[in-house]
Amino acid sequence: MKKILFSLAAVLAGMLAFAQNPNSMVIIKGTIKGDLKGYNKIKLYTRTSNDSAEIKNGEYTFSFPFTEPALKMFLPEYITKTRQMYQPFGVLIAGPGTYYVSSDIAKGMYQSSEVKGPEAAELYRTFELENNAASVKVNYALGDLYGKDWYRMDEKDVRYAAYQKSRDSLQNIYTVPLLEKLLKNHPESYATAFVLAGNGRQISSIEKKEQLLAMLGKKIRKSDAAKKFADHIQGIKSAGVGKKVADFVLPDPKEKDVTFSNLKGKYVLIDFWASWCAPCRQSFPRMREVYAAYKDQNFEIYSISIDESKSAWLKAVADEHNPWLQSLDNKNISQRQFAVTGVPSTFLIGPDGVILASEVGFDPKGGGEMEKKLASIFGKTVPIAAEKKATEKKDAQPMKAIPMTRM
C-alpha cells in the first residue's frame, strides 16, 4: 500500500511540476480593437480541441501546456453573433513561448492581425499574407481567361486541359517563388515544413515538389510535417490508375486489424472521409444505396477515416451505421499510398488489387463518375429515387469535397 501511495504521489508531483514549468507552456496574449457589440468571448480551436476566453478592455489571454505543433484558429463571438463574413485566421504554435496577437475587428481577423513571438509563428504569418496576395492575382488572372465561374470548372469542360496549364503557369509565376524564398532563407524552421506540407500539395509538378522537399534542412526533414509531405509525394507515385495497391493494415472500431490484402478477389471501393466532413456524411445515404445494389456481386466498400480524434471517429461510425468495413488511418495511408487531396475521395480497386478509377467527391444525388464506372463493371445502374429527383434544385452547387491543404 505504501508503494502505491508513493507512486501516486510521485505522479502527482510530476504533473504539478509540469504545470508550473513556464518553459513548457504556451501563452497567447491578444488585443482586439473595435466595437464588439457586447460579444466579449473568443474561441481558440483546432479540429480536436476547443477553448474560449473572455475579452476584457480589448484584451484576452490563453494559456496551455505545449504538446505538439498545431495551427490554432481564432473565432470571436462577435463574428458568429453578428453573422459577419469570416476568413479563417490562426497562429502556428510550433513550441512553448509567449505569442502576441493584435487585431482590428472592423478590418477582419485575417486581414488585420499581426503576430509576434516565436520565429515559426512570425514566419508562417508573413508567408500566409504574401501567399494570399499571390493567390488573389492567380484567381483574377484565371477569371480573365475563363470567366467568373472558372472555379466551378471540372474535367468534363472542354477547356479543362487549357485551364490546368494556365493555373500551373500562374502558380509558377506567383506562388512557387514564395515557397522557394521561404525554403532558401529558413530551411530548418518548422514553419517552412508546415507550409510545404500544406501549400506544397497544390503544386501540380511532382518534380517541383521533390525539389522543394530536398531544400528542407536535414533536421527538420524528420518532423511530422516534412514526413507528411514526403508521404504525399510517394502517394502520387503510387495512386495512379493502373497502379497496384501495396498491402496495408489499419484498425477497425473494435481495435481488430483490417488487412487490405484479405479483400483480394473483390472489387473494393475505398472511401476516405472524416467525421467533420459534411460532404462525406451527406454522401453516405447514396453510398448505402450503391452498396445495397452491388454487395452480392463481389463488391465491398471500405471507409477509412482521416480523423485525428479517435473518439470523434467512433461516434460518427456509430451515428452513420454504415454496413461495411471501417478503419482509422493512424498510419497516414491516405497520403503515403493514395495522395488524397480532399475528402471524400474514393478509389475503386479491382480483384487483382489494381486501381481502376478514382474520384474526389461523391455525388450525394447519384450518377457521379464513380457510379458510372461501377455500372459499366456490374452491368446495371443504381436508380435515383423519383422523389429525390423532384426535390433537386437545378442550380444547386453542393460542395463535392473539402480540400486538405491545411490538414
Domain boundaries, the chain: 7-117, 122-238, 249-403
**Structure confidence by residue, pLDDT tens digits, 321-353:** 999 999 999 999 999 999 998 899 999 999 999
**Structure confidence by residue, pLDDT tens digits, 151-185:** 888 878 899 999 999 999 999 999 999 999 999 99
The whole-number pLDDT of residue 400 equals 64
Largest CA distance in the chain: 78
Element (H, E) at 179: helix 176-185
The predicted model gives 25-53 an average pLDDT of: 95
Give CA separation, 391 vs 281, 384, 385, 395, in Å.
19, 12, 10, 12
Classify domain 7-117 at the CATH topology level.
Immunoglobulin-like (2.60.40)
The one-letter code for the residue type at 136 is V
* Topology match between the domains 7-117 and 249-403: no
CATH number of 249-403: 3.40.30.10
Q: How many CB atoms lie within 10 A of CB 67?
A: 11
Tell whether the model's pLDDT for residue 288 goes beyond 70: yes
Region of poorest pLDDT, from 147-156, 312-321, 358-367, 368-377: 147-156
The whole-number pLDDT of residue 48 equals 84
Percent of the chain with pLDDT over 90: 81
Region of poorest pLDDT, from 15-29, 260-274, 279-293: 15-29
Tell whether the model's pLDDT for residue 88 goes beyond 80: yes
The whole-number pLDDT of residue 23 equals 74
Give CA separation, 167 vs 21, 157, 203, in Å.
49, 15, 10
